[in-house]
């Protein structure tokens, strides 16, 4: 929570965070599926109840607890923070329907002056997750998260799907053509993870709609500098494009080798005949 609050205090327009589900159905905010890196514990989040997770503190100072989605929503529901929005990364480690159902219930449980469907974008890693987002939270905007422009193109044919892509995938003529189509379709385009000034300048020059960064203070400084110095300052280096090409090759190989696995994530579970799936209705 300290990181979210610090970003908002600095002037970030939005925060991005990742969703996981505890064993007893609590939606928590964590990039990792396990507790090892941040908390030094071997367990998976999915194997732990919230009563245990709530006792943990990070290994590094300032020591922080593991936040829930409800904690972030309650903070952002405070007067004066109505303009701050959230991009949610719905991780694929948990049963998709359980996670989306719990997310819908959490959003419905926290009142806000400005409706959450005007402040939250739901991000899914494949078509299964995009479809489930629309079923459980039909009034919320959605975005495809990923690193394959080939896979991303299918969503240009589907109404209302935005894009949250690995920045390096958009470098070069193929990426430029894709961005042109995104603008023509009037979709939003977010890029991750942008931490160097040169890549921040690239993002501004390309007029993307959102930049996900670990250093919002630096990005805002670059934005201010861009207003006065403009295009003439933009740095283009061989190293930048070499790195982009490297990641494009890596992503292509990964997609080819793991396409079936990636495409299977989030598929609806089989339901026995005569037993209907529980629906979650969210009043907004």
Tell me the CATH number at 183: 3.20.20.190
More confident position, 257 or 116: 116
Q: How confident is the model at residue 160, as a pLDDT?
A: 96
Lowest mean pLDDT among 12-26, 64-78, 122-136, 232-246: 232-246
Q: How confident is the model at residue 281, as a pLDDT?
A: 37
- pTM for the predicted model, two decimal places: 0.90
* Pairing outcome for strands 27-29 and 14-21: antiparallel
Is 280 among the domain residues?
Answer: no
Cα 164 from chain centroid (whole Å): 7
DSSP assignment of 38-87 equals HH----BGGGS-HHHHTT---SSSSP-PPPBHHHHHHHHTSTT-TT-EEE
Lowest mean pLDDT among 84-93, 139-148, 224-233: 224-233
- Total domains, the chain: 1
Contact indicator for 68, 105 with CB cutoff of 8 Å? no
3-state SS track over 210-264: EECCCCHHHHHHHHHHHHHHHHHHCCCCHHHHHHHHHHHHHHHHHHHHHHHHHHH
For 161, other C-beta atoms within 10 Å of its C-beta total 22
Is 200 among the domain residues?
Answer: yes
For the segment 150-154, the average pLDDT, to the nearest whole number, is 94
- What six digits make up the tokens of 45? 């989040």
Question: Is the model's pLDDT at 234 over the cut of 60?
Answer: no
Is 193 among the domain residues?
Answer: yes
Which structural domain range is residue 231 located in?
2-264
Question: Is the model's pLDDT at 37 over the cut of 60?
Answer: yes
Q: How confident is the model at residue 278, as a pLDDT?
A: 37
More confident position, 12 or 255: 12
Mean pLDDT of the chain: 91
- Which tens digit of pLDDT belongs to each residue from 14-35? 999 999 999 999 999 999 999 9
Is 196 among the domain residues?
Answer: yes
> What proportion of the chain, given as a percentage, has pLDDT over 70?
92
Q: How confident is the model at residue 232, as a pLDDT?
A: 52
């Amino acid at each position: 929570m300290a990181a979210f609050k610090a970003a908002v205090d600095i002037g970030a327009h939005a925060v991005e965070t990742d969703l996981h589900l505890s064993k007893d159905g609590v939606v928590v905010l964590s990039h990792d599926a396990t507790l090892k890196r941040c908390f030094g514990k071997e367990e998976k989040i999915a194997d732990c109840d919230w009563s245990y997770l709530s006792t943990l503190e990070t290994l590094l100072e300032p020591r922080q607890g593991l936040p829930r989605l409800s904690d972030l929503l309650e903070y952002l529901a405070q007067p004066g923070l109505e303009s701050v929005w959230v991009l949610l990364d719905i991780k694929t480690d948990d049963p998709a329907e359980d996670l989306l159902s719990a997310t819908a219930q959490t959003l419905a449980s926290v009142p806000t002056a400005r409706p959450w469907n005007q402040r939250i974008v739901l991000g899914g890693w494949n078509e299964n997750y995009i479809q489930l987002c629309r079923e459980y939270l039909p009034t919320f905007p959605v975005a495809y998260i990923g690193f394959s422009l080939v896979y991303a193109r299918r969503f240009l044919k589907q109404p209302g799907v935005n894009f949250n892509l690995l920045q390096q995938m958009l470098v070069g003529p193929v990426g430029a053509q894709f961005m042109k189509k995104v603008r023509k379709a009037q979709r939003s385009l977010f890029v991750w993870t942008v931490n160097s000034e040169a890549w921040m300048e690239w993002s501004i020059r390309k007029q993307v709609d959102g930049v996900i960064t670990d250093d919002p203070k630096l990005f805002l400084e670059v934005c201010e500098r861009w207003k006065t110095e403009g295009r003439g300052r933009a740095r283009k280096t061989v190293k930048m494009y070499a790195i982009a090409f490297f990641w494009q090759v890596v992503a292509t190989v990964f997609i080819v080798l793991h396409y079936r696995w990636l495409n299977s994530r989030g598929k609806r579970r089989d339901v026995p005949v005569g037993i209907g799936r529980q629906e979650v209705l969210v009043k907004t």
